A and B are shown apart, each in its own frame.
Chain A
Amino acid sequence: NAGVTQTPKFRVLKTGQSMTLLCAQDMNHEYMYWYRQDPGMGLRLIHYSVGEGTTAKGEVPDGYNVSRLKKQNFLLGLESAAPSQTSVYFCASSYSLAGDEQYFGPGTRLTVT
């Protein structure tokens, strides 16, 4: 099993450009999450999904959109990138919503200039 994979690993964008980050999991998990990790701060939840076709906002959702068209995939979109969105983005998945560990992907390092 590959677990959780993320594409791409690195990306540089100019302010105002758009992009989509792809997350895939092969563990048949219902729940998937997008986090961002910034220096000196803990991981913060952007959006999450409780199943195919359903998404919800996390702690820091502004400037991001998500879609879960297939159970194994969770996409994170930036419509108009800003320098404040420079960060490392992690996708995670879990079997259940409460009490189960989340399995994380390797991350995408995004720089917005």
Chain B
Amino acid sequence: EDQVTQSPEALRLQEGESSSLNCSYTVSGLRGLFWYRQDPGKGPEFLFTLYSAGEEKEKERLKATLTKKESFLHITAPKPEDSATYLCAVQAYSGAGSYQLTFGKGTKLSVIP
């Protein structure tokens, strides 16, 4: 069974204090690892897709990396507007021609001015 574990559950940072969020996974035949941002009362917003170990992607203050067992979302010099819940999801073959996403429970990030 595919599993995705995100840590920590919640993280409070001072503005400008860099940190990393972790997503560890166990899956057979990874097709892709996805990072989403979710603001309160809204749907998840796509950030990154990583396909193979060693891959890295960046967007503004965010950088996502991938190994064979985990992914990190690095946040450099965060601002209060980066406050949100960050979701990690893995996609793998689930049988009968289907590829399904398995989501972690998310990390709630709060950036204090």
Interface, chain A (partner B; CB < 8 A): 4, 40-45, 48, 56, 58-59, 90, 92, 97-107
**Closest Cβ neighbor of A58 among chain B residues:** B100
Chain A residues within an 8 Å CB radius of B42: 106-107
Is the Cβ of A45 less than 8 Å from the Cβ of B100?
Answer: yes
Alpha-carbon gap, A45 to B82, bound state (A): 27
Please list the residues of chain B having a beta carbon within 8 angstroms of any beta carbon in chain A: 4, 31-32, 34, 36, 41-46, 49, 51, 87, 89, 91, 93, 96-106
Bound CA–CA A90/B89 (angstroms): 15
Residues of chain B lying within 8 A (CB to CB) of residue A101: 34, 46, 49
Task: Name the distance in Å between A82's Cβ and chain B's nearest Cβ.
Answer: 23
> B100: which of A40, A59, A103, A107 is its contact (CB, 8 Å)?
A59
Cβ of A105: which chain B residues have Cβ within 8 Å of it?
43
Q: List 10 A-B contacts (CB under 8 A).
A: A42-B105, A42-B106, A45-B101, A90-B43, A98-B93, A98-B99, A103-B46, A106-B42, A106-B43, A107-B43
- Shortest CB distance B64–A (Å): 13
Complex Cα distance, B46 from A90, in Å, reads 14
